[in-house]
Amino acid sequence: MEKPPASARRLRIAVVGLGGIGGAAAGLLARTGRYDVTACVRQPLDRLYVEGPEGVFDVPLRTFTDPAAVRTVDWVLLCTKTHETGAAGAWLKKLCTPATTVAALQNGIDHQERIAPYVNGAAIVPVLVYYNGERLAPDRVRYRPVSANELVTPDDAGGRAFAELMQPTPLHVLTSADFVTLKWRKLLINAAANPVTALTLQRQAVLRRPDIYALCLDVLAEAAKVGRAEGAALADDEPQRMMTSLMTFSPELGTSMYFDRLAGKPFEVEALTGAIVAAGQRHGIATPLNGVLLALLRAISEENAKTAR
């Protein structure tokens, strides 16, 4: 792997959120040897082990547990769950200046509005993630690509800069001029897989049941109607396309909501199903099935939040 000349300044990258998504990104970036990579974590660790399609590798990784100890960086990769963004605010405020770029590797459709209050005027690049990440232990993560493009950004200056940053890693970045459509397509994928796996406590094999498959099609039909009202160019058969895509995923894969429910944690209900119901209300579009899922998911997530305190 070709390294930059010694005179080139090494970019400083901080990864906030070292779960399956953030751990894979941190490990792959650190392995290139091109960047100074640090991680903002609850518990310190010296090395990070990453399992991927090419096997297992490990890298030394500098970690911080106190926001007061960090300095500003060139890039922040925000990889927390959406509902943890506020808790990550102390890190972001210490890491960011107007010269920083924050790549938000998070679910949902409102990255800018959610993150802007914490980043001191830094640029924000929304990133759609198309690899499955799972944290196996505090110092070990596993990632599995589920698409030809593991990461998707808008085709603008920030998105292209992020693609250049990730170029030395195996994670391919697609930049798109129609990011609105793509972020709604990602939301549709999540709108089916996450609620069903969390509520049934089963991995994605459950989506192959004929009754669950049919339910998902109806849930997605509601969501697609809302997405079109939001400006997404979704096809008439978009729900079927999404389910066909989900059937290409390994039935052994979990989802973020599934893993969080197993762990007794609150989960991303508002950024996923909640976002669909809220957008439907804005446009006067009924979303009864998504509304039922939202009520059930909120009840579980809010109870988990009480227990976790």
Say what the pLDDT of residue 1 is: 44
Read off the tokens for 186: 């990602």
pTM: 0.87
Q: Of 81, 94, 183, 186, which is the active-site residue? A: 186
* Separation between Cα atoms, residue 237 and residue 29, nearest integer Å: 38
List of residues 6+ apart from 110 with CB closer than 8 A? 271, 275
pLDDT tens-place string over residues 217-261: 999 999 999 999 999 999 999 999 999 999 999 999 999 899 999
- 238-246 and 210-229 are packed helices; what angle lies between their axes, rounded to 10 degrees? 130
Q: What is the pLDDT of residue 251?
A: 95
Q: What is the largest CA-CA distance in the chain?
A: 61
First-to-last CA distance in the chain?
46
Looking at residue 8, its pLDDT comes to 66
Stretch (H or E) spanning 103: strand 101-105
> Distance between CA 16 and CA 103 in Å, rounded?
10
Count how many Cα atoms sit within 13 Å of the Cα of residue 170 in the half-sphere of its side chain. Answer: 15
| DSSP letters spanning 59-86 | EE-EEES-GGG----SEEEE-S-GGGTT
Q: Which domains does the chain have, with CATH numbers?
A: 12-176 (3.40.50.720), 179-308 (1.10.1040.10)
Q: Where are the alpha helices (DSSP H) in the chain?
A: 20-31, 89-95, 111-115, 157-166, 179-200, 210-229, 238-246, 256-262, 273-283, 288-308
Of the candidates 136, 137, 138, 164, the one whose C-alpha atom is nearest the C-alpha of residue 151 is 164
Kindly state the tokens that stand for 122: 């830094």
Hey, what are 209's tokens? 């049941």
Under 8 Å between Cβ of 275 and 291: no
Residue type for 169, please? T
pLDDT tens, position by position, 71-85:
999 999 999 999 999
pLDDT tens-place values along the chain, 309 residues long: 445 454 467 999 999 999 999 999 999 999 999 999 999 999 999 999 999 998 999 999 999 999 999 999 999 999 999 999 999 999 999 999 999 999 999 998 999 999 999 999 999 999 999 998 999 999 999 999 988 899 999 999 999 999 999 999 999 999 999 999 999 999 999 999 999 999 999 999 999 999 999 999 999 999 999 999 999 999 999 999 999 999 999 999 999 899 999 999 999 999 999 999 999 999 999 999 999 999 999 999 999 998 876
- pLDDT score, position 298: 97
Half-sphere exposure of 76 (CA within 13 A, CB side): 33
In this prediction, residue 309 carries a pLDDT of: 63
Active site residue 94: no
